[in-house]
Structure 1
């Protein structure tokens, strides 16, 4: 019985961690954020970028570390103090949270941040 309960907990936790775009983000609220990277967390299930934009800190969700590595982003690519721009969609609740679709680096290089790799998930 304990093994069954543990299995249910693990499956539920995994499902909770991998949420739906439509449940949390609003495709009618596109955002274009230009700011300075405060922190980059290269963690599962989704990477996190904390971006300071005009005195306001945004929390940006990106694809998994594995997907970003395939696109050329490593845990050392984004550094605190780096100026970037990020396009994405704001959270439905209106908070300063967004799902990132693409990031543009100071040299003009653009890399997709979303899980689908199309920028249109």
Structure 2
């Protein structure tokens, strides 16, 4: 006998009522949601991308601000030790969390001089995670509530 849900016989010799079928379907849905959530949890792992042992303070001019979900990004041009200009990309919190921290779309604009304090990316690229941004006019903006 082949197990089937529609004929009330899931297991040979045992009848499964409506409550039993509902429990089975609920279990299957919950299991599928649990499996589907794994990539999202990996995406939100700070330790997978950034090195908390490598703090950075990068000063430069803002070139672009991407106010997008799930993370906003701040791009700045930084002069390295040899005087060469290097573009850096800093990840921030979501636009919603930035709004709760006092940011607005116009908080920093291209051309503004800022210092970004945060952590370097593990892949040694010119990128990092923003903890706070200090503007040349003395304002300090944080990337996440509670920082």
User: Into which bin does the TM-score normalised by the smaller protein fall?
Assistant: 0.7 to 0.9
TM-score normalised by structure 2 residue count: 0.67
Deviation at 1:19, TM superposition (A): 2.3
Question: Measured at CA, do residues 51 and 43 of structure 1 come closer, stay the same or move farther in structure 2, by a change above 3 Å?
Answer: same
Are 1:89 and 2:119 matched, yes or no?
Answer: yes
Q: Give the equivalent residue in structure 1 for 2:58.
A: 33
Task: Say which one has the larger Rg.
Answer: 2
Q: 1:39 to 1:17 in 2, by over 3 A?
A: farther
1:61 matches 2:61:
no
Please give the residue correspondences for 1:1-121 in structure 2 after superposition, counting only pairs within 5 Å.
11=36, 15=40, 18-54=43-79, 55-113=85-143, 115-118=144-147
Q: How many residues were matched structurally?
A: 110
Mark the CA change 1:17 to 1:84 in structure 2 (over 3 Å): closer, same or farther.
farther
Runs of 4+ in 1 over 6 A off after TM superposition: none
Q: Whole-Å Cα distance in 1 between the matches of residues 136 and 125 of structure 2? A: 26
Match of 2:7 in 1: none
TM-score, reference length from structure 1: 0.81
Unaligned runs of 5+ in 2: 1-28, 80-84
Q: What is the DSSP-based 3-state SS (H/G/I as helix, E as strand, rest coil) of the residue aligned with 1:33?
A: strand
In structure 1, stretches of 5+ residues that fail to align are none
Two-structure CA RMSD over aligned residues (Å): 2.1
What displacement does 1:16 show?
A: 6.9
